[in-house]
Amino acid sequence: MPERTEHALLYIKYVDDALAEQGVAAVEGAISGISLRILARALPDGRTSVAVSLYRRVHRMRASGKAFHYWTHEKLTSMARTKKDLVVLREIDRRVGKSFTRHVFSGIMVESWIHGLSGTLQQWVESNPQARRLEGPKPEGVDSAVDQAIAAIREHIGKLPNWNDRFPLLAEDWQYRPASAYLPYLDAHDHAQVAKNLFGVRAYRRPLAREVERLDINTLSWFAMFRGLVPVDWLIDAMRTTETTSGHSLMERPLTSLQQRGIRSILRRTPQPVLRRILKEPVHQARRTLADAADCTAHRLAVTRDLDLLPEIIAARGQRRVRGSRDLEHLVRDLPAIERWHDSRGRTAQRVIQEEIYGLREMEDYNRVIRLLPEGTAQVADWNLWKNETFRVQALSLIEDRRRELMAARDRERYEREEARRLERIARQAERHQWALQTAALLDGREAAPGLNLVVAQDAETLSRWGAMLNNCIGAYAGELELDVFAAVCEADGRVRLNLQITQSHGVEQILGKNNRDAVRELGEAAQQVVDGLVAMEVRFHLDALGMDGLRLPQRTH
């Protein structure tokens, strides 16, 4: 490949040595230098490109404590004239790892970004008066040097093209669209030529020109993806059933170049019967679905999908079962992932730095642990000592022993707490049991009201029988026998009228009749006599006891 020759149109470089010495010791990421460079590159075909970038000298500190610095730039901007006599402006953002490309035309101030970079340089020089000049003019001559460089750029790039002259079929507002949308209209004076540019001369049909004139250009860019993948008659049928989408919100967000490459990679591996089903779908639906699938396959750095397996997956599933773009997206997402790492040297350096950071954290953990030990038990480590393999193994063993001692102590404390809770629970249950026995002996067989007696349940069978008689759930409380008191209000013939649950902490919590009816509905006025009799026996009632509607608690006298 022929080499490219380049020469500098402008090179300005300032550094602050005093700031560098202070920044290394005090501030991580200190900037001690700045540089503005404008290069003109002569390409092998005779064209010229111009690149503009602003560099900064950044200081960093390794985990080992050793300082280093490097020159870096956040954005790189270039301008060049293409083979089609258009001018392309490209910006590469290193922070996000993305590039942005657009065409520029006459009437646009393309030099504003250069003035912005020179303004950033001058602000840094003004804020660092001790900075010394290594290359380029003095600070007061920067503006004139930049103006001369811009004039040289105009000579190298030439006159910017006129939009109306190069795209006579499009309105002026289309120049801000992505290039993939309007480039087929370049130098085309009728829609027949646009159709040939989109779908190829061999595939051209007269109906194509009519559909190209009818439809929105973003919709056409979607159909252009099927060029060479399906018969042109299928495309014409799909265009005829597609309405113009100039007002559709989705069409206002065209596909990015990365999404277009991903979609074409998917479509090229898809059988034609499946492609025909996708063409029958609404355009906005298929675009959105396949754009989502392309987002997980067209990443330029990290994880992508092995699309070469897509034809085998479709064949194994069956073409008839891939009913549209949604099924195709699911198949793409289920493809095995592959990793493609670029810049192996950068990855190696990053791994080394991460290992040093991890080692520094281990050393700090070790020094923090030994502060809690008796003085003289272990030696405080610095970075040089920590890099000694023998010392590091002994130190990590000490940390592990200390961790086990702390875990044993925590386990012992947890066991003691659980044992104390268990003994306290047993004591409370013993107290409740004693109270239940005394209360049962006090209430069993006593008269609650004229013709009504109290009977205390002694076993689970009694509770079950009461539950069957009154159709309630008192039989489910068998586990609380001898901890709570369960009594029944019975008539002289043994018929059960009410069930009561009495607890040590709240007293009577439930006093219910058949089908869980309130006591008044079950016994009428006799229910109040039962309550008065229980209060006379010094039985307490819960404020929210169930079944107490319509009843009042008499005031107890002391």
Instruction: Give SS3 for 252.
Output: helix
Two structure tokens written together for 176? 């801000």
Mean pLDDT of 379-395: 88
Residue with tokens 């009437």: 107
**For 132-169, what is each residue's pLDDT tens digit?**
888 888 888 888 888 888 888 888 888 888 888 888 88
Contact 129, 14 (CB under 8 A): no
Two structure tokens written together for 129? 């008066």
Mean pLDDT of 273-283: 92
The Cα 297–Cα 307 span in angstroms is 8
The Cα 483–Cα 434 span in angstroms is 8
Q: Name the DSSP letter for residue 133.
A: E
| Residue 215 pLDDT greater than 90, yes or no | no
The amino acid that residue 297 corresponds to is T
Give the dihedral of Cα atoms 504, 505, 511, 516; nearest 10 deg.
-110
DSSP string, 422-472: HHHHHHHHHHHHHHHHHHHHHHTT-EEETTEEEEE--SHHHHHHHHHHHTS
| Residue 279 pLDDT greater than 80, yes or no | yes
DSSP string, 482-525: TTBEEEEEEETT--EEEEEEEETTTEEEEEE-GGG-BHHHHHTT
Q: Would the pTM count as exceeding 0.85?
A: no
Give Cβ neighbours of residue 5 (< 8 Å, ≥ 6 apart): 41, 42
Question: What is the Cβ-side half-sphere exposure of residue 490, based on CA atoms within 13 angstroms?
Answer: 17
Mean pLDDT of 345-350: 70
pLDDT at site 555: 67
**For 245-275, what is each residue's pLDDT tens digit?**
554 444 456 787 788 888 999 999 999 999 9
Two structure tokens written together for 469? 């008689």
* Cα torsion 356, 360, 366, 369: sign: negative
Q: What are phi and psi of 331, to 5 degrees?
A: -65, -40
Two structure tokens written together for 253? 């967000």
pLDDT at site 314: 93
Strand 507-512 versus strand 541-546 pairing type:
parallel
Contact 548, 541 (CB under 8 A): yes
Give Cβ neighbours of residue 190 (< 8 Å, ≥ 6 apart): 169, 209
Instruction: Give SS3 for 286.
Output: helix
More confident of the two residues 111 and 186: 186
